[in-house]
Amino acid sequence: MNDTAIHSLGFGIATRNSKDDIIEVYYPCLMRNPAPALASGVSKACGIDSGQNAVIELHAELASTLCVTLLNAGFAEQAEILRQMSNSTQKIVLCFLSVDTAPTTVAEAYLKLHLLSHRLAKPHSLNLDGLFAILPNLAWTDEGAIDVDELPQRQLEARLRGKPLEVASVDKFPKMTSYVVPSGVRIAHTARVRLGAYLGSGTTVMHEGFVNFNAGTEGPAMIEGRVSAGVMIGANSDLGGGCSTMGTLSGGGTEIISVGENCLVGANAGIGIPLADGCIVEAGLYLTAGTKLNVLSSDGELQKTVKARQMVGIANLLYRRNSLSGGVECVPLKTSIGLNEDLHSHN
């Protein structure tokens, strides 16, 4: 993880439960590495010490002061957003991150997830240690986030109003598009992309595709399979229908799995090793680090037998299963795949 200062801040609208605990935050105004003068002005107005992470509820007077600070620093658009927020009846918070330590509050966690989905930070560039312990499990409804313990009463109240409450999911993570819709993407089923996903411009996520938090695509990319937490997909790569990438959250090791540029992971295939640029894994083949590979020359001669982990970093390879022997083979490729440009313009 990155131990250097990240200097990020966000003005957000916080949802609280009946105990007045913050359970989620929407940040319509956030910045990464703001100008030193702006960071200094905000910290001075809020009384934040240097090198400190803080979450502050903004009262009207402080919000007005910060609007002036933003305007003086040349951030008129952000100042207008803050003005609109402060004129509402919603709870407004400022989250200020001076150092990239593990999140200790819900507001910090949501700011980091927003930074990823806004493409202001790449996966693995922010410290997300302990994130699951910080985020509460919530009911995500058509009336917003609701504390699970308070859900039965809210459902009753909705019924009494004659409008049943729609519960879309019960999870620690919301869908990304309820908070951030990055430019230049298509998402066929929005529930399958979590807040904290990083989608590069030109990315298409089809109906059965899934992208977890702290993972994503450089773009352009075609995602019809699963991008697990921590996995990054290189430009011009295609994850076929039903395929899978092994993450590190459950059952995986500590090695970061990635897919290089111009790669294809075939339908119902899977990878448990990083793929270098220009590689193809044939449909239906799950390639783990310990998979025994018969490495062939371009003319089909057996060169050696190794475990798949020993081929990491080698570009332009085809991984396939021999239809006669059932053995897994690795052969060099002369050409790499290409994506249909019309599918990824998203204009």
Tens digits of residue pLDDT in 18-77: 999 999 999 999 999 988 888 888 888 888 876 789 999 999 999 999 999 999 999 999
Q: What is the mean pLDDT of the chain?
A: 92
User: 102 vs 340, which has greater pLDDT?
Assistant: 102
**pLDDT tens track for 180-204:** 999 999 999 999 999 999 999 999 9
User: What is the pLDDT, as a whole number, of residue 347?
Assistant: 64
Pairwise CA distance, residues 259 & 328, whole Å: 20
Q: In the predicted model, what is the mean pLDDT of residues 111-115? A: 98
> Which residues, including other chains, have CB under 8 Å from residue 120's CB and lie 6 or more apart?
8, 30, 32
Q: Are 54 and 48 in contact (CB under 8 A)?
A: yes
3-state secondary structure of 227: strand
Decide if 224 is catalytic.
yes
Q: Which one-letter DSSP state was computed for residue 40?
A: H
Structure-derived torsion over alpha carbons of residues 283, 284, 288, 294, reported in degrees to the nearest 10: -70
Pairwise CA distance, residues 112 & 114, whole Å: 5
**pLDDT tens track for 265-321:** 999 999 999 999 999 999 999 999 999 999 999 888 999 999 999 999 999 999 999
Pairwise CA distance, residues 1 & 3, whole Å: 6
**Token pair 């039903």: residue:** 242
On the question of pLDDT at 122 being above 80, the answer is yes
Pairwise CA distance, residues 29 & 80, whole Å: 10
Inter-CA distances, 223 with 9, 36, 183, 280, Å: 31, 39, 17, 15
Pairwise CA distance, residues 165 & 146, whole Å: 11
Q: Which of 242, 266, 240, 262 is nearest to 339 (CA)?
A: 262
**Which pTM value belongs to this model?**
0.92
Band the pLDDT of 5: cuts 50, 70, 90. very low
On the question of pLDDT at 1 being above 50, the answer is no
Strands across the sheet containing 302-307: 185-187, 203-205, 221-223, 237-239, 264-265, 280-281, 317-321, 328-332, 292-296, 302-307
The one catalytic residue among 24, 108, 224, 282: 224
Band the pLDDT of 248: cuts 50, 70, 90. low
User: What is the pLDDT, as a whole number, of residue 6?
Assistant: 47
Pairwise CA distance, residues 65 & 69, whole Å: 6
User: What is the pLDDT, as a whole number, of residue 2?
Assistant: 35
Question: Largest Cα–Cα distance in the chain?
Answer: 77
Amino acid identity, position 239: L
**ω before 36 within 30° of 0 (cis)?**
no
User: What is the pLDDT, as a whole number, of residue 338?
Assistant: 62
Helix or strand run (H / E) with residue 146: strand 144-147
Which residue segments constitute the domains of the chain, with CATH numbers given?
8-135 (3.30.70.2010), 140-171 (3.30.60.70), 176-344 (2.160.10.10)
Q: What is the percentage of the chain residues whose pLDDT exceeds 90? A: 83
User: What is the pLDDT, as a whole number, of residue 7?
Assistant: 82
By the 10 Å C-beta count (0-12 exposed, 13-18 middle, 19+ buried), 151 is classed as: middle
Band the pLDDT of 3: cuts 50, 70, 90. very low
Inter-CA distances, 297 with 273, 276, 281, 318, Å: 21, 18, 17, 11
Q: Are 139 and 168 in contact (CB under 8 A)?
A: no
| 38-47, 127-136, 139-148, 315-324: least confidently modelled range | 38-47
User: What is the pLDDT, as a whole number, of residue 44?
Assistant: 87
| 41-50, 93-102, 338-347: least confidently modelled range | 338-347
Q: Which of 195, 224, 233 is nearest to 212 (CA)?
A: 195
The CB density around residue 162, as the number of other CB atoms within 10 Å, is 6
> Which residues, including other chains, have CB under 8 Å from residue 263's CB and lie 6 or more apart?
234, 237, 238, 275, 277, 278, 279, 280, 336, 337
